């Protein structure tokens, strides 16, 4: 006869205890799952799994840094092995050149178009000369003739004989004085040659000029110059001589061109070339007869002085005290064309001068 369990189909070997244990296990699983769900989100992933991931990241980053350092070392070594001119990339030259050209262009655009200068010129020189001379005179008897003859004498004895006759015919104060000068020079030496001692003072010149700049290198200028020439001519010797002292005043009109070779910071190097027309505005001739240190005769005449042309070339150096005011020196070589007047310019047509001055630009 079967039991009740067997009648309802209970498996064999099954016991109530096993059913209870199974239910307990299922309850524990449910409680454990519920407990895990109630925990914070970060605890869903065990902390121990983070460490291996972080180490991998750091290891990968460190490896990449080492690779970058190696690449930098290889690149530097490659640049060092290149020729010297290739160490600097060509692209870096363009900005530097642009800066230089921009600075040059800015300087060209900022040049001052007008300038006015005040200049003094003149160099000391040994202008004393002693050379043979002659005295030219017109005999009194020929003065009234249409074509008077002239007499020229190169020694004092001949001149004394001539002036003795003149003093008898025309006993003026000047003829009497000339007779005494001739007699003093001829005494003791009948064949004594007539000599002239010439002295030229240093020409004094001051000028005011105005210049117009064409660009920052070229400029054109003109102005007004004043020049004083003074010379003395002595016929005879220290005891008895005839002194002719002449003074000429010129007003000159220069025309010149200037070229700036170099302009840097406060310094400026330039060259000039031009021509000048000097117009005589005054002249005088003083004649004195000196015997034993005393003036025994004196008279004054006016000279007829023609125009004087000259050309010049020079190089100048200027230092700017301020952006608008500068001082300069301009050594120059001048050539004066002979105008028939006996001056330092006729005896020394080539001359070197050292003009110095003050220039104001705006």
**Between residues 175 and 51, which one has the greater pLDDT?**
175
Q: Is 307 helix (H, G, I), strand (E, B) or coil?
A: coil
Q: Look up residue 264 and give its two tokens.
A: 């840097």
Q: Is the pLDDT of residue 311 over 80?
A: yes
Determine the angle formed by the axes of helices 173-186 and 156-169, rounding to 10 degrees: 150
pLDDT digits (tens, 9 = 90+) for 113-123: 889 999 988 65
20-29, 36-45, 179-188, 248-257: which is most confident: 248-257
**Sorting pLDDT into bands at 50, 70 and 90, what band is 14?**
very low
Question: Which residues on adjacent β-strands are paired with residue 279?
Answer: 251
Other Cβ atoms closer than 10 A to 270 = 19
């240093």: which residue's tokens? 202
- Beta strand ranges found along 178-324 (DSSP E): 195-200, 204-213, 218-236, 240-264, 267-291, 294-301, 308-320
Percent of the chain whose pLDDT exceeds 70: 69
- Average pLDDT over the chain reads 80
Question: What are the helix (H) ranges across the chain?
Answer: 4-8, 16-38, 50-80, 93-109, 156-169, 173-186, 344-347
Of residues 66 and 225, the one with the higher pLDDT is 225
Q: Which pLDDT belongs to residue 67?
A: 77
d(CA 114, CA 170): 64
Average pLDDT, integer, range 213-221: 93
Domains and CATH numbers, the chain: 112-130+196-361 (2.40.160.20), 134-193 (no CATH)
Q: 62-66, 223-227, 266-270: lowest mean pLDDT where?
A: 62-66
Confidence of residue 8 (pLDDT cuts 50, 70, 90): very low
> Is-contact 132 195, C-beta < 8 A?
yes
pLDDT of residue 109: 45
pLDDT at position 357 is: 95
Provide the token pair at 353.
Answer: 């001068």
**pLDDT confidence band for 308 (50 / 70 / 90):** very high
- What does the angle CA 148 – CA 346 – CA 200 come to, to the nearest 5 degrees? 100
The pLDDT value recorded for residue 133 is: 78
- Give whole-number Cα distances, 155 to 161, 189, 196, in Å: 11, 10, 12
Overall average pLDDT of the 216-232 stretch: 95
254, 223 in Cβ contact below 8 A?
Answer: yes
Residues 281-305 have pLDDT tens digits of 999 999 999 999 999 999 998 889 9
**pLDDT given for residue 7 in this prediction:** 43
| CA angle, 203 then 206 then 210, to 5° | 140
Residue 151 or residue 338, greater confidence: 338
Whether 335 has a pLDDT exceeding 80, the answer reads yes
**Which of 40-44, 112-116, 204-208, 341-345 bottoms out in mean pLDDT, i.e. has the lowest?**
40-44
Q: Quick one: CA torsion of 85, 86, 90, 95, rounded to 10 degrees?
A: -60
């Amino acid at each position: 006869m079967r039991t009740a369990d067997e009648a309802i189909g209970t498996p064999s070997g099954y016991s109530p205890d096993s059913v209870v244990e199974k239910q307990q296990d299922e309850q524990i699983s449910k409680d454990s799952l519920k407990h895990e769900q109630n925990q914070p989100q970060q605890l869903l992933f065990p902390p121990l799994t983070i460490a291996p991931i972080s180490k991998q990241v750091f290891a990968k980053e460190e490896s990449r840094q080492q690779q970058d350092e190696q690449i930098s070392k290889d690149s530097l070594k490659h640049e060092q092995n290149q020729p010297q001119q290739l160490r600097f990339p060509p692209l870096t030259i363009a900005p530097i050149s642009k800066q230089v050209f921009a600075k040059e262009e800015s300087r060209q655009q900022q040049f001052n178009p007008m300038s006015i200068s005040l200049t003094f010129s003149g160099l000391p020189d040994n202008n004393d000369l002693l050379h043979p001379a002659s005295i030219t005179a017109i005999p009194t008897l020929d003065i009234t003739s249409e074509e008077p003859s002239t007499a020229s004498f190169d020694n004092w004895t001949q001149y004394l004989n001539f002036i003795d006759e003149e003093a008898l015919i025309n006993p003026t104060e000047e003829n009497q004085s000339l007779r005494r000068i001739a007699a003093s020079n001829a005494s003791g030496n009948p064949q004594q040659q007539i000599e002239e001692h010439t002295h030229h003072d240093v020409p004094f010149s001051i000028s005011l000029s105005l210049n117009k700049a064409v660009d920052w290198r070229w400029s054109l200028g003109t102005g007004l110059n004043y020049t004083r020439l003074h010379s003395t001519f002595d016929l005879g010797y220290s005891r008895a001589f005839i002194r002719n002292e002449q003074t000429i005043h010129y007003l000159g009109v220069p025309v010149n061109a200037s070229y700036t070779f170099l302009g840097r910071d406060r310094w400026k190097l330039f060259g000039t070339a031009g021509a000048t027309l000097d117009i005589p505005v005054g002249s005088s001739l003083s004649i004195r007869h000196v015997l034993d240190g005393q003036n025994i005769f004196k008279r004054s005449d006016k000279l007829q002085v023609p125009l004087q042309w000259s050309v010049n070339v020079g190089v100048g150096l200027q230092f700017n005290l301020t952006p608008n005011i500068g001082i300069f020196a301009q050594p120059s070589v001048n050539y004066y064309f002979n105008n028939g007047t006996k001056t330092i310019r006729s005896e020394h047509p080539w001359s070197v001068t050292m003009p110095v001055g003050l220039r104001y630009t705006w």
